[in-house]
A and B are shown apart, each in its own frame.
Chain A
């Protein structure tokens, strides 16, 4: 059966940066897919529980009868199944390792700190979170210089693995900037990342799946209100 005959579905939510990673990768490869939206606050669907029994999380990529879980594992799977150009990972093993290295840092340290800024209990916790985020951005500014080698993206001429791994968080970064009144990406401290962010968000593989900051900010307020048990704003 030709690859094009096998159905591709992404199980996810419009607001999740992790889900976005899978969709961007499919877009880069021009693969048609069906986007099945989970309404996670109403309870997880049977399909989700069946296709990701271990973690019960989105995204899940359903390719024919196979389910693949974990956003960056999905991205690599997409790159390997639809192995024609453009490649999402660099061809050089050391450059691949560098791209892969940043993923756990982003997922386990940087993004959790970004999320904490909005919900931190107490000024100390908030300041610590901001410091972690800013430190990470400086590290990534430096990494951008090394990885891009003067080209527009971490991946070079085109969006690659690290662009996807990091760029998916830009929506939430902009929401955090808006709600806190802070500038996290700036011309003075992170000039390359500032320009990269605009290029990434307007790229054809990204722009239709990157949520608008306003919509995401409203969504964030709704979640925070729900968490506090208050009635959501209309």
Chain B
């Protein structure tokens, strides 16, 4: 049965990357459509995600699905090979719990710590490190959050796996240090070295340039504010 699978995403978006990674893990062929979310959202995107008008959107045989974690569950339920969620209801609940923790607490805290102004930085960094500490404790020396294979939580944590390192280099601020979070750092290396993950990631130099430009922009804004 031929099926139409399309992903509306943005190069450099970790949310968009989550969806592509899950499809690649399952061996699903898809067409990728790049959206210019900052300047010019396409009419199709607005049609398929009228509530939030955001990427990523998965289109499967004409039916749209939005919200990256919802899309991941849809992919899991539709294409059964290489499961990303455990069978056991409790283990499944825990995976969902950590994925939500990432989206609601951890990723916002990391982003905040990277970009917060001087006077708020210490508190922001402390919150970010608390989140990383919690994540570190759930790994418990496992190769992946999903155990022996990449699972929902690993995919959801792709920002930490790849984006965070680049962000740290661009801002000069280290949040994920090997001495404080050895298991997490080891996980980022394992995760990013998987061939299917490597294939899904954006080019490092472009991401670095994007963050560097943002750092420069933030510094200009601060300089201007103090004139």
Report A's interface with B, CB cutoff 8 A. 54, 63, 66, 68-70, 73-74, 76-77, 80-81, 93-94, 96-98, 100-101, 104-105, 139
Instruction: Determine the residue in chain B with the shortest Cβ distance to A142.
Output: B50
- The answer to whether B70 and A93 have CB atoms under 8 Å apart is no
State whether A96 touches B96 (Cβ < 8 A). Answer: no
What total count of A-B pairs have CB within 8 Å? 54
Contact A100:B77 (CB < 8 A) given known A54-B101, A80-B89, A81-B89: no
Sample of 26 A–B contacts (CB below 8 Å): A63-B90, A69-B97, A73-B93, A73-B96, A73-B97, A73-B100, A77-B92, A77-B93, A80-B89, A81-B89, A93-B74, A93-B77, A93-B78, A94-B63, A94-B74, A96-B73, A96-B74, A97-B71, A97-B74, A100-B73, A101-B65, A101-B66, A101-B67, A101-B70, A105-B51, A105-B52
Contacts of A97 in B (CB 8 A): 65, 70-71, 73-74
Give me the interface of B with A, judged by CB distance under 8 Å. Answer: 51-52, 60, 63, 65-67, 70-71, 73-74, 77-78, 89-90, 92-93, 96-97, 100-101, 134
List 11 extra interface pairs beyond A93-B78, A94-B63, A100-B67, CB under 8 A: A77-B89, A77-B90, A80-B89, A80-B92, A93-B77, A94-B65, A96-B73, A96-B77, A97-B71, A97-B73, A101-B51
The distance in angstroms between the C-alpha atoms of A73 and B103, with both chains bound, is 14
**Interface SS of B by simple majority:** helix
For A98, the chain B residues whose CB sits under 8 A away are 65
Q: Quick one: closest A residue to B89, CB to CB?
A: A80
Do residues A76 and B93 form an inter-chain contact, with CB atoms below 8 A? Answer: yes
